Amino acid sequence: MKKRKIFMACGMNMPKDEKLIEELKLIAKHVAETGWTIAQGGNYTGIMGLMVDEFAKYSNDIYMIMPKKFRKDLPKLTFKELMLVEDEASRLVNIVKKCEVIVILPGGSGTIEEFMYLIETKKYFEHEREIIVFNYEGYYNDLFTQFKKCVDFGLLAEGALKFKVAETSKELCKLIDLAK
């Protein structure tokens, strides 16, 4: 049976919050131990690198999709597959094609851009991927407030926001398990 792939959109910087780092490690371990193939890419720094390293402790079912410019940054790990693409846009298109579940972890502008792309493409029925947002300690609350403002102004249809939210790593892992 083909293993399902999960992508975790996350930042290329390491958070200052040690509790968040521990939560992310628990998530990576859970995903590995419950039989997913993790699809990661973009870069191998910050949370991205942390998730790959932690996942690799429990499973080598790692599928890397990354722009060629970051090839030199690849870790010395064994991957099930490696796909090198021209740029970030190509990477995201391939992630949507290859992954069944997409988790949005705390991250910077790139992670938020990925989240927006995923919402827009799902809104226009370009994919039916499960999107789960890890709203660690209210990290995305301001963004959710902006979404509500868009809806209130009539500039965004209320039904366009098709994603689930987890406030804790335990909730997130439960939603990931349900998506399987």
| Tens digits of residue pLDDT in 84-112 | 899 888 988 998 898 999 999 999 999 99
Helix (H) or strand (E) holding 165: strand 164-166
Summary mean pLDDT of the chain? 90
**Residue 104 and residue 133 in contact, taking contact as beta carbons nearer than 8 Å:** yes
- Rounded to an integer, the average pLDDT of 143-165 is 93
Q: What is the mean pLDDT of residues 126-137?
A: 95
User: How does residue 8 score in pLDDT terms, banded at 50, 70 and 90?
Assistant: very high
Say what the pTM is.
0.92
Q: Residue 39 sits in a domain of what CATH number? A: 3.40.50.450
Report d(CA 97, CA 65) in Å as an integer: 11
Q: What is the DSSP letter of 162?
A: -
**Most confident of the following: 45-59, 71-85, 90-104, 134-148:** 134-148
Q: Which of 5-9, 19-23, 65-69, 100-104 shows the lowest per-residue confidence on average (mean pLDDT)?
A: 65-69
pLDDT at position 77 is 65
Task: Count Cβ atoms below 10 Å from residue 75 Cβ, excluding itself.
Answer: 13
Task: Look up tokens 């349900």; give the residue.
Answer: 178
- What's the average model confidence in pLDDT over 51-65? 91
Contact 173, 3 (CB under 8 A): no
Average pLDDT in the 150-154 region? Answer: 95
Predicted local confidence at residue 119, as pLDDT: 92
Domain holding 144, by residue range, is 5-179
Give the long-range contacts of residues 144-150, CB within 8 A, separation 24 or more. none
SS3 3: coil
pLDDT of residue 165: 98
Query: What pLDDT is attached to residue 20?
Result: 97
- As given in the structure block, the two tokens for residue 116 are 């927006």
- Position 2 confidence tier, pLDDT thresholds 50, 70, 90: low
The domain total for the chain is: 1
